[in-house]
A and B are shown apart, each in its own frame.
Chain A
Amino acid sequence: MGMAMMLAEQDPGELVAGLTAVGRGIVYGGAAIGPGIGIGIVVGNAITAMARQPESAGMVRTTMFLGIAFTEALALFGFVLAFIISG
Protein backbone atom coordinates (compact mmCIF):
# COMPACT_ATOMS: atom_id res chain seq x y z
CA MET A 1 0.00 0.00 0.00
CA GLY A 2 2.78 2.39 0.93
CA MET A 3 4.45 1.79 -2.41
CA ALA A 4 1.23 2.50 -4.34
CA MET A 5 0.69 5.73 -2.40
CA MET A 6 4.23 6.83 -3.15
CA LEU A 7 3.80 6.10 -6.85
CA ALA A 8 0.46 7.94 -6.95
CA GLU A 9 1.98 11.03 -5.39
CA GLN A 10 4.87 11.07 -7.87
CA ASP A 11 4.87 13.29 -10.89
CA PRO A 12 4.19 10.86 -13.78
CA GLY A 13 6.77 12.50 -16.04
CA GLU A 14 9.44 11.96 -13.41
CA LEU A 15 8.41 8.33 -13.04
CA VAL A 16 8.65 7.76 -16.79
CA ALA A 17 12.06 9.42 -16.90
CA GLY A 18 13.28 7.27 -14.04
CA LEU A 19 11.97 4.06 -15.57
CA THR A 20 13.51 5.02 -18.94
CA ALA A 21 16.87 5.42 -17.27
CA VAL A 22 16.48 2.00 -15.61
CA GLY A 23 15.47 0.50 -18.96
CA ARG A 24 18.52 1.94 -20.67
CA GLY A 25 20.76 0.45 -18.03
CA ILE A 26 19.14 -2.95 -18.37
CA VAL A 27 19.32 -2.88 -22.18
CA TYR A 28 23.00 -2.08 -22.29
CA GLY A 29 23.85 -4.35 -19.36
CA GLY A 30 21.99 -7.24 -20.94
CA ALA A 31 23.54 -6.65 -24.35
CA ALA A 32 27.04 -6.67 -22.87
CA ILE A 33 26.81 -10.11 -21.18
CA GLY A 34 26.97 -12.34 -24.25
CA PRO A 35 29.63 -10.42 -26.19
CA GLY A 36 31.71 -10.16 -22.99
CA ILE A 37 31.82 -13.93 -22.67
CA GLY A 38 32.25 -14.31 -26.44
CA ILE A 39 35.23 -11.97 -26.70
CA GLY A 40 36.80 -13.75 -23.75
CA ILE A 41 36.52 -17.08 -25.57
CA VAL A 42 37.87 -15.62 -28.84
CA VAL A 43 40.89 -13.95 -27.27
CA GLY A 44 41.59 -16.83 -24.91
CA ASN A 45 41.69 -19.33 -27.75
CA ALA A 46 43.77 -16.96 -29.88
CA ILE A 47 46.35 -16.73 -27.07
CA THR A 48 46.42 -20.52 -26.78
CA ALA A 49 46.98 -20.78 -30.53
CA MET A 50 49.76 -18.16 -30.47
CA ALA A 51 51.46 -19.89 -27.54
CA ARG A 52 51.39 -23.24 -29.31
CA GLN A 53 52.53 -21.93 -32.67
CA PRO A 54 54.28 -18.58 -32.32
CA GLU A 55 55.19 -18.59 -36.04
CA SER A 56 51.49 -18.28 -36.96
CA ALA A 57 50.92 -15.38 -34.53
CA GLY A 58 50.36 -12.82 -37.31
CA MET A 59 47.59 -14.79 -38.98
CA VAL A 60 45.97 -15.66 -35.65
CA ARG A 61 45.98 -12.00 -34.61
CA THR A 62 44.21 -10.88 -37.79
CA THR A 63 41.58 -13.59 -37.40
CA MET A 64 41.23 -12.74 -33.72
CA PHE A 65 40.42 -9.11 -34.52
CA LEU A 66 37.85 -10.28 -37.06
CA GLY A 67 36.25 -12.54 -34.45
CA ILE A 68 36.24 -9.73 -31.90
CA ALA A 69 34.65 -7.35 -34.41
CA PHE A 70 31.80 -9.75 -35.17
CA THR A 71 31.18 -10.57 -31.50
CA GLU A 72 31.44 -6.97 -30.35
CA ALA A 73 28.81 -5.78 -32.85
CA LEU A 74 26.02 -7.19 -30.65
CA ALA A 75 27.14 -5.22 -27.62
CA LEU A 76 27.33 -2.07 -29.74
CA PHE A 77 23.79 -2.60 -31.05
CA GLY A 78 22.73 -2.66 -27.40
CA PHE A 79 24.71 0.52 -26.73
CA VAL A 80 22.99 2.35 -29.57
CA LEU A 81 19.58 0.93 -28.64
CA ALA A 82 20.00 2.25 -25.09
CA PHE A 83 20.24 5.78 -26.50
CA ILE A 84 17.35 5.27 -28.89
CA ILE A 85 14.95 4.28 -26.07
CA SER A 86 13.02 7.33 -24.96
CA GLY A 87 10.32 7.75 -22.36
Chain B
Amino acid sequence: MALLALEFPPISHLIEWPTIFGDGPFAVNKVVLLALISAVLVFTMYFVAGRKGQLVPTGVQNFAETVVEFVQEGIILQTMGPEGLYFTPFLLTLFSFIFVTNIWGIIPVAQMPVNARMAIPAFLAILVWFIFNFIGIKKQGLGGYFKSMLFPPGVPKALYILVTPIELVSTLIVRPLSLAVRLFANMLAGHLLLVSFAVIATALFKATYVGAVLPGGLLIALTGFEVLVAVLQAFIFTILAAVYIGGAMHPEH
Protein backbone atom coordinates (compact mmCIF):
# COMPACT_ATOMS: atom_id res chain seq x y z
CA MET B 1 0.00 0.00 0.00
CA ALA B 2 2.69 2.47 1.05
CA LEU B 3 4.77 1.30 -1.90
CA LEU B 4 2.22 2.60 -4.38
CA ALA B 5 1.27 5.68 -2.38
CA LEU B 6 -2.28 4.41 -2.55
CA GLU B 7 -4.42 6.64 -0.38
CA PHE B 8 -8.09 5.94 -0.56
CA PRO B 9 -10.12 8.97 0.52
CA PRO B 10 -12.66 8.36 3.32
CA ILE B 11 -16.21 8.07 2.06
CA SER B 12 -17.28 11.41 3.53
CA HIS B 13 -14.79 13.16 1.21
CA LEU B 14 -16.40 11.58 -1.82
CA ILE B 15 -19.99 12.64 -1.32
CA GLU B 16 -19.90 15.63 1.03
CA TRP B 17 -19.12 18.83 -0.81
CA PRO B 18 -18.16 22.18 0.69
CA THR B 19 -20.77 24.93 0.62
CA ILE B 20 -20.49 27.26 -2.35
CA PHE B 21 -22.77 30.03 -1.06
CA GLY B 22 -25.55 30.62 1.45
CA ASP B 23 -25.70 29.11 4.91
CA GLY B 24 -27.97 27.20 7.24
CA PRO B 25 -30.63 25.01 5.67
CA PHE B 26 -30.42 27.00 2.41
CA ALA B 27 -26.70 26.46 1.84
CA VAL B 28 -25.94 25.50 -1.74
CA ASN B 29 -23.19 23.02 -2.52
CA LYS B 30 -22.33 21.13 -5.68
CA VAL B 31 -25.03 18.50 -5.19
CA VAL B 32 -27.78 21.07 -4.66
CA LEU B 33 -26.54 23.07 -7.62
CA LEU B 34 -26.60 19.98 -9.88
CA ALA B 35 -30.10 19.10 -8.67
CA LEU B 36 -31.33 22.61 -9.49
CA ILE B 37 -29.66 22.50 -12.91
CA SER B 38 -31.31 19.13 -13.57
CA ALA B 39 -34.74 20.49 -12.70
CA VAL B 40 -34.27 23.52 -14.97
CA LEU B 41 -32.82 21.35 -17.75
CA VAL B 42 -35.73 18.89 -17.74
CA PHE B 43 -38.30 21.68 -17.53
CA THR B 44 -36.67 23.66 -20.37
CA MET B 45 -36.38 20.61 -22.61
CA TYR B 46 -40.07 19.70 -22.38
CA PHE B 47 -41.15 23.34 -22.47
CA VAL B 48 -39.22 24.02 -25.69
CA ALA B 49 -40.35 20.69 -27.17
CA GLY B 50 -44.00 21.25 -26.34
CA ARG B 51 -44.24 24.93 -27.28
CA LYS B 52 -44.62 24.58 -31.02
CA GLY B 53 -46.34 21.21 -31.25
CA GLN B 54 -45.51 20.60 -34.90
CA LEU B 55 -47.21 17.74 -36.70
CA VAL B 56 -43.89 16.57 -38.10
CA PRO B 57 -41.51 16.85 -35.15
CA THR B 58 -37.98 18.16 -35.52
CA GLY B 59 -35.05 18.57 -33.18
CA VAL B 60 -35.88 18.68 -29.48
CA GLN B 61 -39.51 17.83 -30.08
CA ASN B 62 -38.43 14.66 -31.87
CA PHE B 63 -36.33 13.58 -28.92
CA ALA B 64 -38.99 14.49 -26.36
CA GLU B 65 -41.61 12.51 -28.25
CA THR B 66 -39.35 9.46 -28.24
CA VAL B 67 -39.07 9.66 -24.44
CA VAL B 68 -42.82 10.19 -24.03
CA GLU B 69 -43.51 7.21 -26.26
CA PHE B 70 -41.05 5.08 -24.30
CA VAL B 71 -42.66 5.99 -20.98
CA GLN B 72 -46.16 5.38 -22.36
CA GLU B 73 -45.49 2.11 -24.15
CA GLY B 74 -42.58 0.69 -22.19
CA ILE B 75 -43.76 1.55 -18.71
CA ILE B 76 -47.41 2.59 -18.42
CA LEU B 77 -49.15 0.27 -20.87
CA GLN B 78 -47.09 -2.69 -19.60
CA THR B 79 -48.00 -2.20 -15.98
CA MET B 80 -51.13 -0.06 -15.59
CA GLY B 81 -53.02 -0.48 -18.83
CA PRO B 82 -54.61 2.35 -20.86
CA GLU B 83 -56.19 3.81 -17.71
CA GLY B 84 -52.72 4.73 -16.46
CA LEU B 85 -52.04 7.12 -19.34
CA TYR B 86 -53.51 9.79 -17.05
CA PHE B 87 -50.25 9.54 -15.09
CA THR B 88 -47.99 10.14 -18.11
CA PRO B 89 -46.89 13.66 -17.04
CA PHE B 90 -45.92 12.53 -13.53
CA LEU B 91 -44.08 9.38 -14.58
CA LEU B 92 -42.39 11.16 -17.50
CA THR B 93 -41.09 13.86 -15.16
CA LEU B 94 -39.97 11.23 -12.67
CA PHE B 95 -38.09 9.28 -15.34
CA SER B 96 -36.42 12.30 -16.94
CA PHE B 97 -35.46 13.94 -13.65
CA ILE B 98 -33.97 10.77 -12.16
CA PHE B 99 -32.06 10.06 -15.36
CA VAL B 100 -30.57 13.56 -15.53
CA THR B 101 -29.64 13.57 -11.83
CA ASN B 102 -28.02 10.13 -12.25
CA ILE B 103 -26.07 10.94 -15.39
CA TRP B 104 -24.11 13.74 -13.62
CA GLY B 105 -22.04 10.93 -12.13
CA ILE B 106 -20.12 10.43 -15.36
CA ILE B 107 -20.13 13.93 -16.83
CA PRO B 108 -16.63 15.43 -16.51
CA VAL B 109 -16.26 18.30 -14.00
CA ALA B 110 -19.60 17.41 -12.35
CA GLN B 111 -18.67 13.75 -11.55
CA MET B 112 -21.24 13.44 -8.81
CA PRO B 113 -24.53 11.56 -9.11
CA VAL B 114 -27.02 13.71 -7.19
CA ASN B 115 -28.89 10.57 -6.14
CA ALA B 116 -25.82 9.30 -4.28
CA ARG B 117 -27.12 11.50 -1.46
CA MET B 118 -30.28 10.25 0.21
CA ALA B 119 -32.27 13.52 0.04
CA ILE B 120 -33.71 13.34 -3.48
CA PRO B 121 -34.39 9.57 -3.58
CA ALA B 122 -36.10 9.82 -0.17
CA PHE B 123 -38.22 12.77 -1.27
CA LEU B 124 -39.26 11.07 -4.52
CA ALA B 125 -40.10 7.84 -2.69
CA ILE B 126 -42.26 9.72 -0.17
CA LEU B 127 -43.98 11.51 -3.05
CA VAL B 128 -44.76 8.18 -4.73
CA TRP B 129 -45.96 6.80 -1.37
CA PHE B 130 -48.43 9.67 -0.95
CA ILE B 131 -49.66 9.41 -4.51
CA PHE B 132 -50.34 5.67 -4.53
CA ASN B 133 -52.08 5.79 -1.16
CA PHE B 134 -54.14 8.79 -2.25
CA ILE B 135 -55.14 7.11 -5.52
CA GLY B 136 -55.99 3.89 -3.69
CA ILE B 137 -58.23 5.64 -1.19
CA LYS B 138 -59.82 7.75 -3.92
CA LYS B 139 -60.58 4.83 -6.24
CA GLN B 140 -61.54 2.15 -3.71
CA GLY B 141 -62.59 4.16 -0.68
CA LEU B 142 -60.75 4.10 2.63
CA GLY B 143 -62.19 0.77 3.81
CA GLY B 144 -61.96 -0.88 0.40
CA TYR B 145 -58.36 0.14 -0.08
CA PHE B 146 -57.19 -1.21 3.27
CA LYS B 147 -59.31 -4.34 2.85
CA SER B 148 -57.73 -5.19 -0.49
CA MET B 149 -54.29 -4.29 0.88
CA LEU B 150 -54.46 -6.20 4.17
CA PHE B 151 -56.73 -9.10 3.20
CA PRO B 152 -55.73 -10.23 -0.30
CA PRO B 153 -58.38 -12.60 -1.69
CA GLY B 154 -57.61 -16.26 -2.30
CA VAL B 155 -55.75 -16.77 0.97
CA PRO B 156 -57.02 -19.34 3.50
CA LYS B 157 -58.67 -17.55 6.44
CA ALA B 158 -56.25 -18.83 9.10
CA LEU B 159 -53.24 -17.49 7.17
CA TYR B 160 -54.45 -13.90 7.55
CA ILE B 161 -52.76 -13.89 10.98
CA LEU B 162 -49.49 -14.17 9.11
CA VAL B 163 -50.31 -12.36 5.86
CA THR B 164 -51.95 -9.20 7.22
CA PRO B 165 -49.01 -7.87 9.29
CA ILE B 166 -46.59 -8.72 6.48
CA GLU B 167 -48.74 -6.90 3.92
CA LEU B 168 -49.11 -3.89 6.22
CA VAL B 169 -45.36 -3.55 6.77
CA SER B 170 -44.42 -4.33 3.18
CA THR B 171 -46.89 -1.87 1.63
CA LEU B 172 -46.55 1.07 3.98
CA ILE B 173 -42.92 0.85 5.14
CA VAL B 174 -40.80 -1.43 2.98
CA ARG B 175 -42.12 -0.08 -0.35
CA PRO B 176 -40.99 3.55 0.06
CA LEU B 177 -37.84 2.51 1.94
CA SER B 178 -36.70 0.05 -0.71
CA LEU B 179 -37.64 2.46 -3.48
CA ALA B 180 -35.40 5.16 -2.02
CA VAL B 181 -32.58 2.87 -0.91
CA ARG B 182 -32.46 1.08 -4.28
CA LEU B 183 -31.82 4.29 -6.21
CA PHE B 184 -29.49 5.76 -3.58
CA ALA B 185 -27.37 2.64 -3.04
CA ASN B 186 -27.03 1.90 -6.74
CA MET B 187 -25.75 5.39 -7.51
CA LEU B 188 -23.47 5.46 -4.44
CA ALA B 189 -22.03 2.05 -5.33
CA GLY B 190 -21.37 3.17 -8.90
CA HIS B 191 -19.73 6.36 -7.69
CA LEU B 192 -17.48 4.46 -5.26
CA LEU B 193 -16.56 1.96 -7.96
CA LEU B 194 -15.47 4.73 -10.33
CA VAL B 195 -13.51 6.48 -7.56
CA SER B 196 -11.77 3.24 -6.55
CA PHE B 197 -10.61 2.53 -10.08
CA ALA B 198 -9.54 6.14 -10.61
CA VAL B 199 -7.48 6.07 -7.41
CA ILE B 200 -5.87 2.74 -8.31
CA ALA B 201 -5.15 3.85 -11.88
CA THR B 202 -3.57 7.13 -10.70
CA ALA B 203 -1.39 5.38 -8.10
CA LEU B 204 -0.26 2.75 -10.59
CA PHE B 205 0.45 5.39 -13.22
CA LYS B 206 2.65 7.31 -10.79
CA ALA B 207 4.49 4.15 -9.78
CA THR B 208 4.89 2.18 -13.00
CA TYR B 209 3.20 3.93 -15.97
CA VAL B 210 2.36 0.60 -17.71
CA GLY B 211 0.47 -0.79 -14.75
CA ALA B 212 -2.28 1.76 -15.20
CA VAL B 213 -3.43 0.22 -18.50
CA LEU B 214 -5.64 -2.42 -16.93
CA PRO B 215 -7.40 -0.33 -14.23
CA GLY B 216 -7.56 2.61 -16.65
CA GLY B 217 -9.24 0.46 -19.29
CA LEU B 218 -11.63 -0.93 -16.70
CA LEU B 219 -12.39 2.61 -15.56
CA ILE B 220 -13.48 3.54 -19.09
CA ALA B 221 -15.56 0.37 -19.37
CA LEU B 222 -17.19 1.03 -16.01
CA THR B 223 -18.02 4.58 -17.07
CA GLY B 224 -19.94 3.07 -19.95
CA PHE B 225 -21.59 0.67 -17.53
CA GLU B 226 -22.65 3.62 -15.36
CA VAL B 227 -24.61 5.07 -18.29
CA LEU B 228 -26.53 1.80 -18.39
CA VAL B 229 -27.08 1.91 -14.62
CA ALA B 230 -28.31 5.52 -14.80
CA VAL B 231 -30.93 4.62 -17.42
CA LEU B 232 -31.86 1.37 -15.71
CA GLN B 233 -32.34 2.91 -12.27
CA ALA B 234 -34.50 5.71 -13.70
CA PHE B 235 -36.50 3.03 -15.53
CA ILE B 236 -36.86 0.80 -12.47
CA PHE B 237 -37.88 3.66 -10.16
CA THR B 238 -40.51 4.80 -12.67
CA ILE B 239 -41.83 1.32 -13.39
CA LEU B 240 -42.13 0.53 -9.67
CA ALA B 241 -43.97 3.80 -9.10
CA ALA B 242 -46.29 2.78 -11.98
CA VAL B 243 -46.80 -0.69 -10.49
CA TYR B 244 -47.63 0.72 -7.05
CA ILE B 245 -50.05 3.29 -8.45
CA GLY B 246 -51.59 0.71 -10.79
CA GLY B 247 -51.98 -1.75 -7.92
CA ALA B 248 -53.76 0.88 -5.85
CA MET B 249 -56.15 1.68 -8.73
CA HIS B 250 -57.35 -1.88 -9.22
CA PRO B 251 -58.03 -4.13 -6.26
CA GLU B 252 -56.28 -7.48 -6.54
CA HIS B 253 -58.37 -10.13 -8.21
Residues of B contacting A66 in the complex (Cβ-Cβ under 8 angstroms): 236, 239-240, 243
B16-24, B104-112, B133-141, B180-188: which one contacts chain A? B180-188
Contact pattern, B 167-209, Cβ under 8 Å of A = 1, otherwise 0: 0000000000010011011101100000000000000000000
Tell me whether A79 and B239 are in contact (CB under 8 A): no
- Chain A interface, >50% SS class: helix
A39 to chain B, nearest CB (A): 13
A59 to B79 Cα, complex, angstroms = 9
The proximity string for A residues 55-84 relative to B, scoring 1 for CB distances below 8 Å and 0 otherwise, is 000110010011011101100110110010
Label chain B's interface by main secondary structure.
helix
Verify B178–A83 contact, CB threshold 8 A.
no
Contact call B79/A76, Cβ cutoff below 8 A: no
Closest-by-CB residue of A relative to B185 is A76
- Evaluate contact between B239 and A72: CB separation under 8 angstroms: no
Question: Quick check: A65 and B182 within 8 Å, CB to CB?
Answer: no
Complex Cα distance, B178 from A80, in Å, reads: 11
Q: Chain B nearest CB: distance from A23 CB in Å? A: 16
- Cross-chain contact A80 with B185 (CB below 8 angstroms): yes
Given known A-B contacts A62-B78, A83-B11, A76 and B239 have beta carbons under 8 A apart: no
On chain A, which size bracket covers the interface? 10 to 19
Q: A76 touching B235 by the CB < 8 A rule?
A: no
* Set B74, B79, B182, B239: member contacting A73, Cβ < 8 A: B182
Does residue B232 face the partner (Cβ distance < 8 Å to A)? yes
Contact between B182 and A72, CB atoms less than 8 A apart: yes
Complex alpha-carbon distance, A4 and B211, angstroms = 41
Q: Judging by beta carbons under 8 Å apart, are A62 and B181 in contact?
A: no
Q: How far is the CB of A72 from chain B (nearest CB, A)?
A: 7
Given contacts A62-B78, A66-B243, contact A73 B232 (CB under 8 A): no
Q: Given A72-B182, A76-B185, A65 and B236 touching (CB < 8 A)?
A: yes
Residues of A whose CB lies within 8 Å of any CB of B are: 58-59, 62, 65-66, 68-70, 72-73, 76-77, 79-80, 83
- Across the A-B interface, the 7 shortest Cβ-Cβ residue pairs: A76-B185, A73-B178, A69-B236, A62-B78, A79-B185, A80-B185, A73-B182
